[in-house]
Structure 1
Amino acid sequence: MCKNKLQIDISKEDICRSHPVGRPNRAGKVQLICRFRNWKIKNGIYSKKRCLKGDPDKLFITEDLTGYRQGIISALMDAKRLGHVHSFWTSDGRIFAKATERSSKDLIKFPEDVDRYIPDEMQS
């Protein structure tokens, strides 16, 4: 996948560990978690993940986040679905978001940080 889809040449020695997470889905696909030999390899792969956007095999790359940060991502996904957030992403475990395409990125540290994107009349 790295060679063909991301145009990154890595070897088996660049991967310290990898294993499936969970059970295969109906199509027989399973999530994998990988630990790389060093952060440069990980960052190189992670920086090319956009190449997988719209991938016919539906491959994607995400960071392994804590449950706390996954909760923030879930809130951002809801806000994006409602049109309150333009985009969000993670980098080295940190979460960033943009309200519009042209706005500056914000570091999201707490679930309450997502509230600033939601209009007051919609908050409960």
Structure 2
Amino acid sequence: MATAVGSDLSLQEIAVSHRVGKPRSSDKPRDILVKFISRRSRDKLLKKRSLLKSNGYEGIFVNEDLTKYRSELLFEAKQLVKRKHIIGAWSTDGTILVKVTKDKKVSVHRIHTKRDINRFLSYTVAENSNSSSNVDYFIFRSILA
């Protein structure tokens, strides 16, 4: 997968990897948790993750392994994306970020608390053609050594 997206990540840069969670009754595979030997190794793959879809890995997502609280913040932020209050939401190095438009200006904001998310409830995004599809997938998570 790393080679397909142009990352020079090697197997020696992965300390350990395994599936997590209970086996599912559906055909949907379990998540894979990967521990890299260094932050630099992890970043090699994370920087190229947006190329997965265009290189034959549609329905596979690479995400950080966040704390429960930060995962909840990211989930709530993504709900605002679905409701068209903000343009996008993602995490980088454990920090939750959102992209918004206000007065025709695009800006990125860090999210630390649920209060930070709530201040974007009054924002709206112009209709666009992006739509999410229901695809069977697994999440490829990463943690640092």
Q: Which has the higher contact order (CA 8 A, sep 6+)?
A: 2
C-alpha distance in structure 2 between counterparts of 1:12 and 1:33, whole Å: 15
Structure 2: 5+ residue runs without aligned partners?
124-145
Matched, 1:50 2:50: yes
Q: Which has the higher strand share?
A: 2
The answer as to whether partners of 1:71 and 1:111 remain within 8 angstroms in 2 is no
Matched, 1:108 2:111: yes
Percent of aligned pairs with the same residue?
Answer: 26
C-alpha distance in structure 2 between counterparts of 1:83 and 1:10, whole Å: 36
Equivalent position amino acid for 1:98 in 2: K
Map residues 43-122 of structure 1 onto 2, 5 A cutoff.
Answer: 43-53=43-53, 57-100=58-101, 102-119=105-122
TM-score after normalising by structure 2: 0.73
2:20 matched to which residue of 1? 21
Q: Which has the higher helix share?
A: 1
CA RMSD of aligned residues (A): 2.1
Structure 1: 5+ residue runs without aligned partners?
none
Matched, 1:7 2:6: yes
Structure 1 runs of 4+ aligned residues shifted over 6 Å read none
